[in-house]
Structure 1
Amino acid sequence: MKNFLYLLSAVLPAAFVSGNTVSTTINVVNRNLAPDGFTRSTVVANGQFPAAPIIANKGDRLVITVNNRLTDPTMRRVTSLNLDGVFVQAPENFDEGQAFVAQCPIAPGHSFTQDVQLDPNQAGTFWYHSQLSVQYVDGFRGPLIIYDPEDPQKHLYDVDDLNTIIQLADWWHNSSVDSLAFFAAHDMIPVADTGLINGVGRFNGGPAIPFAVVNVVQHRRYRLRIINESARAAYNFSIDSHNFTIIETDGVNTNPISGNQIPILAGQRYSVVVNANQPVGNYWINAPFSGGNAASNPNQNLTFSRAILRYSGAPNRDPTTPRTEGPTGSALHQVVEAQISPLVHNPPPPADIQLVFSVAFTPLQNGTGWRINNISYQPDRQNPTLLKVIQNGAEAQFNVSEHTIVLPQHKTVEVVFPSNDDDELHPFHMHGMNLWVVKPDSGTVNNTVNPIIRDTTGSGAAGTVVRFRTDKVGAWIYHCHIMWHMAAGLGSVMLVDPAVTQATVRPGVQWDGLCPAYNALPADEQ
């Protein structure tokens, strides 16, 4: 709580004056923690999981210093930091955080400061995490909230504070290093042991850890900021006896739409308004998740993936109602992407360039893994994309496995994901910019009038079409947010105008030192 209060008091002045500098330090450390009662070594920010929230107002400047103090030899000892969903501006592409694209990882004993001027028009619900392979599986993840003091939807809710941040996370008892080795050996993504809500969960046979509690007062309206910080799991979120109204997706205000369940893929965020209009009591918050099952991991129990909505005046105990997975049958009113539209009308421009991304999988033993158009993305781990561009501009050369697509500036790119039959809904996430989801996987037709706008959307059996603008130069990775898939090749880099990138991106001495420090490490420390 001390860290929470420090960040809050540091960046939320009474008048919500924007344009402030928000400075914070993240010491990335190993610490033994037990969020579900099972103690294991972790990689965490400032010794805690979930990490303390970073809070800002739109238009602020974020200055975040990451000190790498990792020492555990059984885990990755380099790291990086990504501000997920935040519009890092083109000249600051080097502060984007993607290891081996925007920078080399931060070596043990070294530091790197990311200095990001927030877009004056961007506010909403975001998060931050390690962007090194699957390292955030080990705990380096936390919320990042950008408030809008002139929020056009403020009249819809009464309360929006730290208590109303809902963090969903899958959790493994094994380290990410061991789990990734298992994946490579068996072509099977490790199945999470536990689903956590705000850093708390239970597993079969484990201790009865008290469920996380969201406190409310009867007759008040609460903006819940729901963040799926998982590395694989998709959640179906609901609250017993309560409907809600969705007002934000991935930092974009939406036309209010009501329901009682919302599916949330890895990396996605929603703000929903819940009216505490039920009798005083305790109500289950349900978040059953997909991504493996108890047959694959006997520790997993979906009825434990939950929290409690507790009204002021209710007894300090669990709800007495059954632990279900949420509404079913005629009582279910699920909201899907195809039904959601942006509050501010913003239709996508016609496409200038079309890319077709065919997704497939070949067993890892054959050395390919996940592929887009028969390319399994693997970065150059000595020379990041941006470094090559800064050194060589338009003459920069990339291996096929780097899957770097060079695009001209100021164009509209359409990416078509044909339907796939691999039984996966891949949450593809674009760094640095938003996507018009012209055809979501839940839709049947292309919508070029008022499609949902967000940075992470699913591609699966029904096919998906998105568009984005190349108005920002630099190297921006576009990848599946099932991080095991990304580690096995499911990604590509959108490189916008390398010549202009070379002329405008000036990282500085600290960034210049990242690659020499990383490349000097022995292999077991990388």
Structure 2
Amino acid sequence: MMQECWILKCSGIMKFLAASASASLLALRALGATVSTRAPNVKAITLDIVNAQGAPDGFQRSLVTANGTYPGPTIVADMGDTLVVTVNNRLDDPTMRRSTSIDFDGIFFSTDNAFEEGTPFVTACPIAPNASFTYTIPLGTQSGTFWYHSQLSVQYVDGLRGAIVIRNPNDPNIDLYDVDDESTLIQVGDWWHNTSTSLLAGYVATGIVPVSDSGTFNGVGRFQGGPEVPFAVVNVEAGKRYRFRIINVSARNVFTMSVDSHNLTIIETDGVATVPLTVNQVEMLAGQRYSVVLEANQPVDNYWFNAPFVGGDPTRNLNQNATLSRGILRYVGAPDAEPTAPMSLGSGTALVEANLRPVEAKPAPEPDMNITLNLVVTTGKAQWNVNNVSYLSPEVPTLVKILDGANSSADFNVTENTFILPANATIQVTFPPNDDDEAHPFHLHGNNFFVVKSNSSDEVNTENPIRRDVSGVGAAGTILRFRTDRPGPWFFHCHIFWHMQAGLATVMASGLDDIRAEDHPNAAWEALCPAYDALPTELQ
């Protein structure tokens, strides 16, 4: 079980490494989020969004961070708590975006707090430099593994990403593991030496999605020809069972997780308790999360915790060597050394998403409305289209328009790609097969969905499909269903953020009358748009 220490400032979860020109390394422990109990079941967290120097893979650069670290501090709460997250924007580096906005991936929102959801130009305006905003988020009955990141443009490429863990003392799989604490949280992500603004400019100019320089495992990595940054170490004790909460915090890359000589038993998928499924490899698209149980039942030694990735043509970035993306699983009593055995990449049973089942089995409700989304890229341009529309953020956020009386698609710009949905209905979204060579991890804000047909299989499962909030869309076709019993304007987009920025997004807006009746934004939210709109372009 996790210890209470994890909630407090005593937790030092992640390391991020800074290297001087001579490649000497300075390891810095990430500070835990400042958390206090203001009232029963309220967790107050402060995230100072600041620029900081760092070198997660040995290459020194300016970062965009929460509390000065990459990844940012982990937010830990219990099921039923309310998070009160104060975000202070202190960004001052003119080479990057200086406004910001935080999204809490996988957390449900409802009619009365849609304005707290944090999607720029959908549910709110960004937070201007030297301004603050407090998100109040009741967690309700949710538990599991989530994360937060900047939702503004592709800003989280610069480092603004962190984990959220919601603990459930009545986890239906609790008897399967002995340890679930700060040491068992794994965050893997793509890393980039250039700033997001310069990378985005290159993408717009060429239509070629940027290729990352490296991958990081718990905040550290290596690139080809770079310094030998020490691999992150995960310590285990023989005979114990460990719940590893793994989050792919990438803006593009797909990671395949495995541990040499060990099985992984999946028990959670994107915050949904999962019927235990034992595999050897887990492929994770950007934004996806899994909890896996590893039994430390091998001889005392060091083993590779493998996290190779794919994400574009590696010949476009010669810094990239995906096999350098890994950590070390170290048994108590093993030497302080790297494993001597070669990595067992690409071997064993791989996860098939269609084989996942929720512990709480529910049939997918019959659809009341059907939507087909066709995804097409404009050749040679940084432009993606959904049903022939490339999404562009409006100047006036979707929620503002709804509160002001918008009732139909005609009240929104065509480029907002906004679907008007009835409240308390089941919506089926069908993504036909496409021949793109990169699976698109589609993510729904504010809700999750039933994966009726996974891109991993031809099976159609309406009896007990897995529920999650990020699922792949690609060559085999995907069918999703979700309920609109949490009315709001919810962003539905590709979690490859380069694609999202290029238009691969929609807004699913449901229950507009309910929103107007129940959603009452506060003065701080109402001040966001005037403050942002008054900024000169270089500060936006």
Question: TM-score by structure 2 length?
Answer: 0.93
Q: Counterparts in 2 of 1:477-496, with a 5 A limit?
A: 477-496=491-510
Instruction: Give the counterpart letter for 2:474 in structure 1.
Output: G
Partner of 2:456: 442
Whole-Å Cα distance in 2 between the matches of residues 503 and 130 of structure 1?
A: 29
Whole-Å Cα distance in 2 between the matches of residues 522 and 294 of structure 1?
A: 37
Partner of 1:54: 75
Instruction: Give the counterpart letter for 1:49 in structure 2.
Output: Y
The question of whether the paired residues in 2 share the 8 Å contact of 1:441 and 1:460 is answered with yes
Whole-Å Cα distance in 1 between the matches of residues 350 and 271 of structure 2?
A: 21
The question of whether the paired residues in 2 share the 8 Å contact of 1:7 and 1:55 is answered with no
Whole-Å Cα distance in 2 between the matches of residues 92 and 146 of structure 1?
A: 19
Whole-Å Cα distance in 2 between the matches of residues 9 and 411 of structure 1?
A: 40
Say whether residues 1:274 and 2:294 are aligned partners: yes
Distance 1:296 1:126, change over 3 A: same
SS in structure 1 at match of 2:411: coil
Whole-Å Cα distance in 2 between the matches of residues 384 and 447 of structure 1?
A: 36
Say whether residues 1:195 and 2:202 are aligned partners: no
Whole-Å Cα distance in 1 between the matches of residues 494 and 287 of structure 2?
A: 9
Partner of 1:82: 103
Of the three residues 391, 394, 399, the one matched with 2:404 is 391
Question: How many angstroms does 1:19 deviate by?
Answer: 5.7
Whole-Å Cα distance in 2 between the matches of residues 401 and 294 of structure 1?
A: 33
Question: How many angstroms does 1:108 deviate by?
Answer: 0.3
Whole-Å Cα distance in 1 between the matches of residues 459 and 333 of structure 2?
A: 48
Question: How many angstroms does 1:150 deviate by?
Answer: 1.1
Of the three residues 353, 357, 375, the one matched with 1:359 is 375
Partner of 2:360: 344
The question of whether the paired residues in 2 share the 8 Å contact of 1:11 and 1:20 is answered with no
Partner of 1:143: 163
Partner of 2:522: 508
Partner of 2:232: 212
SS in structure 2 at match of 1:4: coil
The question of whether the paired residues in 1 share the 8 Å contact of 2:147 and 2:164 is answered with yes
Partner of 1:231: 251
SS in structure 2 at match of 1:52: coil
Question: How many angstroms does 1:3 deviate by?
Answer: 6.4
Q: Counterparts in 2 of 1:50-129, with a 5 A limit?
A: 50-119=71-140, 121-129=141-149
> Structure 1, residues 360-402: CA drift from partner, whole Å, max 9, x if none?
100464xx7101100111110x210011111224268210000
The question of whether the paired residues in 1 share the 8 Å contact of 2:35 and 2:45 is answered with no
Question: How many angstroms does 1:336 deviate by?
Answer: 1.2
Partner of 2:16: none
Q: Counterparts in 2 of 1:240-259, with a 5 A limit?
A: 240-259=260-279
Of the three residues 192, 215, 233, the one matched with 1:172 is 192
Question: How many angstroms does 1:323 deviate by?
Answer: 3.7
The question of whether the paired residues in 1 share the 8 Å contact of 2:146 and 2:163 is answered with yes
The question of whether the paired residues in 2 share the 8 Å contact of 1:405 and 1:492 is answered with yes
Partner of 1:15: none
Question: TM-score by structure 1 length?
Answer: 0.95
Question: How many angstroms does 1:134 deviate by?
Answer: 0.7
Question: How many angstroms does 1:219 deviate by?
Answer: 0.5
Of the three residues 432, 436, 446, the one matched with 1:418 is 432
Whole-Å Cα distance in 2 between the matches of residues 334 and 327 of structure 1?
A: 9
Distance 1:8 1:519, change over 3 A: closer
Whole-Å Cα distance in 2 between the matches of residues 247 and 208 of structure 1?
A: 34
Whole-Å Cα distance in 2 between the matches of residues 389 and 4 of structure 1?
A: 42
Say whether residues 1:333 and 2:346 are aligned partners: no
Whole-Å Cα distance in 2 between the matches of residues 327 and 407 of structure 1?
A: 43
Question: How many angstroms does 1:485 deviate by?
Answer: 0.4
SS in structure 2 at match of 1:513: helix
Partner of 2:330: 310
| Equivalent residues, number | 514
SS in structure 2 at match of 1:387: helix
Gaps of 5+ in 1: 13-17
Partner of 1:290: 310
SS in structure 2 at match of 1:256: strand
Distance 1:7 1:41, change over 3 A: closer
Q: Counterparts in 2 of 1:40-51, with a 5 A limit?
A: 40-51=61-72
Partner of 1:473: 487
Whole-Å Cα distance in 1 between the matches of residues 463 and 484 of structure 2?
A: 20
Whole-Å Cα distance in 2 between the matches of residues 271 and 165 of structure 1?
A: 9
SS in structure 2 at match of 1:182: helix
Q: Percent identity?
A: 53
Of the three residues 275, 284, 304, the one matched with 1:264 is 284
Gaps of 5+ in 2: 1-5, 13-30
Whole-Å Cα distance in 2 between the matches of residues 421 and 302 of structure 1?
A: 24
